[in-house]
Structure 1
Amino acid sequence: MKHLTILVPDGHNNLSSMVGSWKIFTRANQYWVKQGREPVFEVQLAGLSEAVELYDGLFTIKPHTAALKIKHTDLIIIPSLNHCFEETMALNQELADWIKWQYNQGAAVASICTGAFLLAATGLLDGKTCSTNWAVKDAFISMFPEVTLLPDRLITDEHNIYTNGGAFSFLNLIIYLIEKYYDRPTAIYCAKVFQIDIGRSSQSPFIIFTGQKDHDDEAVKKAQDMMEANPGERIAIGKLATQVAVSRRNFDRRFIKATGNTPLEYWQRVKIEVAKKAFENTVKTISEVMYEVGYSDEKAFREIFRKITGLSPLDYRGRYHKNVMAG
């Protein structure tokens, strides 16, 4: 039997990501037992402390064992650290060292949501790809520039290291791991029991674009403000550069350095975010919304919308329009 360690770090953690992981793997084991097969994993919660209080003492979780006492494990799951990842990372340096040691002994490691920060602190993600909650993208890139962040990806799988996007998308990661360590029928069974939409690969439809202004380039900020104030305009990028008194070549370079996007990519994201809100809250047609955000070619608009959100305009409206949500 393999060994699965679900970590309970000291500090701020997300209870659901630990309990959810434990429940689904336990159910997968039970499914195999009913079929006359041996359970795949011994599942244990492990941490540095005998008990960890969560949500200002509302809940207390008591791990089965101390992580540092575990000499061998086959799979480690790092839970979400909520949005207090810097404090939690500082409290768990011993745990980070233990994760790295176990990985070098052959263990696979999976991080949930902001658990990617603790995983990245081990150095194991250097030179690799990673996903995490889209809302903390800028903080992650700033802290771990040697890691290639893929903020739209729901799951990454590279060299026995798995990461996933934000919040309850961890359920998709757990189903992915169930299929990898058990089999496809078991993954489908667990997906049906826990009503998880199997096969999702992107968190793009859930991303809320709020701009990337955590930088000190005032010319770029001025250009961003102009884009966001006039989403329906068709301002040429060259003209925008002139209006902020920067040459086109330098403008592109500075914009990418400041925001991580080219000016055109940023301009498209601004327009599509406005279009998303229109589809969520109004009954305007696709053509009306398209014209309002400065597009005249419906094919081009549909392609850019799908590229950014992962859905067609029609599918997005069908999923998120207020009348659909109310129904």
Structure 2
Amino acid sequence: MKSISILVPNSAVMEAVADPRYMFTAANQFLQAVGKAPLFEVQLVGATKDVKLHDGAFSVHTDKLMKDVEKTDLIVIPALFGDMKQAVEVNKEAIPWLVDKYNEGTEIASLCVGAFLLASTGLLEGKRCSTHWAFANEFRETFPDVELVDGSIITEEHRLYSSGGANSYWNLLLYLLEKYTDRDTAILAAKYFAIDIDRESQSAFMMFNGQKDHNDPEVKKAQDFIEDNSAERISVDQLVDMFAVSRRSFERRFKKATNNTIVEYIQRVKVEAAKRSFEKSRKNINEVMYDVGYTDTKAFRTVFKRITGLTPIEYRNKYYKEPVLV
């Protein structure tokens, strides 16, 4: 039997507690249906017997207290809700427990922004990690020694697993299910739960809002200029001339402040403008391309797919629907 311990922290997202429990208990039923023995012993674990969630709207009754868990194969850390620093603080009792269990050989998987609690243990230092794209900047600032993998759905390193944003954690659960059972069981679960198995990127869902939580005023002015002129062709030299600084120095400052090179930032701003156009208008690909300052169709398609994971036409088909006439 594989022992699965689902941590029930304070400030947890209720669905991120219930869904892994549902997945692994259903997997037992799938295995039994084909004549195999159930594999998973699933338990809810917490600091107290009852954990109130979402301002008391839900109450989760745990099966075991953390201190009573002698051995477990996998700990699942669900997504947290609200202010991440506060959410970690109210769950600091779990940090030494997670470290102790990991040192005993337990694997740990964080779902979505549960990565903040996992990273607070120090176990991720020098390692790669995934989390919700909307919290990427905050995560980097809080844990500069962790390598955050942009847009990734699943990251695995040294018995530590993490997933991308929101429902991406289902893909991590499927990944773990396949690891512990086999491909056929994972495919069955994917069909049962209607999950797109093997999805590798959350890029198609990401919205680029710029990274302006820094203290470099000239970089902020450059960001504003790029965003206000997304329809124009902007060069690095043009920006450097505006601020009368050396190119090498400004590129270094820009990268440090935004975690993007200047060229990457320009591309992401233009692609974000193109995405909004595809979502809301009936303009064709070339019209949108010209609107965001591209004249080379191949270059536009290449950049768009690298950033979103989809071609322009695939993105339009995914998000644009003809208005319904009443």
Range of TM-score over shorter length: over 0.9
Hey, what's the Cα distance between the residues in 2 that align with 1:82 and 1:205? Answer: 23
Contact 1:111/1:164 (8 A) holds in 2: yes
Q: Name 2:105's counterpart in structure 1.
A: 106
Q: Name 1:9's counterpart in structure 2.
A: 9
Q: Name 1:248's counterpart in structure 2.
A: 247
Please give the per-residue CA displacement for 1:158-204, whole angstroms capped at 9, x wherever unaligned: 11111001111111111111111111111111111111111100000
Q: Name 1:123's counterpart in structure 2.
A: 122
Contact 1:222/1:244 (8 A) holds in 2: no
1:324 positional shift: 8.6
Hey, what's the Cα distance between the residues in 2 that align with 1:169 and 1:20? Answer: 12
Matches within 5 A, 1:155-304: 155-304=154-303
Hey, what's the Cα distance between the residues in 2 that align with 1:323 and 1:178? Answer: 39
Matches within 5 A, 1:19-98: 19-98=18-97
Contact 2:152/2:163 (8 A) holds in 1: yes
Contact 2:81/2:87 (8 A) holds in 1: no
**Percentage identity across aligned positions?**
50
Residue range with higher mean Cα deviation, 300-309 or 80-89: 80-89
1:156 positional shift: 0.4
- The AA in structure 1 aligned to 2:264 is E
Gaps in structure 2 of 5+ consecutive residues: none
Distance change in 2, residues 1:67/1:55 (3 Å): same
Hey, what's the Cα distance between the residues in 2 that align with 1:58 and 1:324? Answer: 37
CA root-mean-square deviation = 1.3
- The AA in structure 1 aligned to 2:108 is V
Q: TM-score, normalised by structure 2?
A: 0.97
Hey, what's the Cα distance between the residues in 1 that align with 2:210 and 2:324? Answer: 26
Q: How many residues align?
A: 325
Contact 1:133/1:151 (8 A) holds in 2: no
Gaps in structure 1 of 5+ consecutive residues: none
Q: TM-score, normalised by structure 1?
A: 0.97
Contact 1:165/1:203 (8 A) holds in 2: yes
- The AA in structure 1 aligned to 2:7 is L
SS of residue matched to 1:76: strand
SS of residue matched to 2:156: strand
1:116 positional shift: 0.3
- The AA in structure 2 aligned to 1:285 is N
Matches within 5 A, 1:310-321: 310-321=309-320
Contact 1:318/1:324 (8 A) holds in 2: no
1:56 positional shift: 1.5
Please give the per-residue CA displacement for 1:274-306, whole angstroms capped at 9, x wherever unaligned: 000011111111101111111111001000000
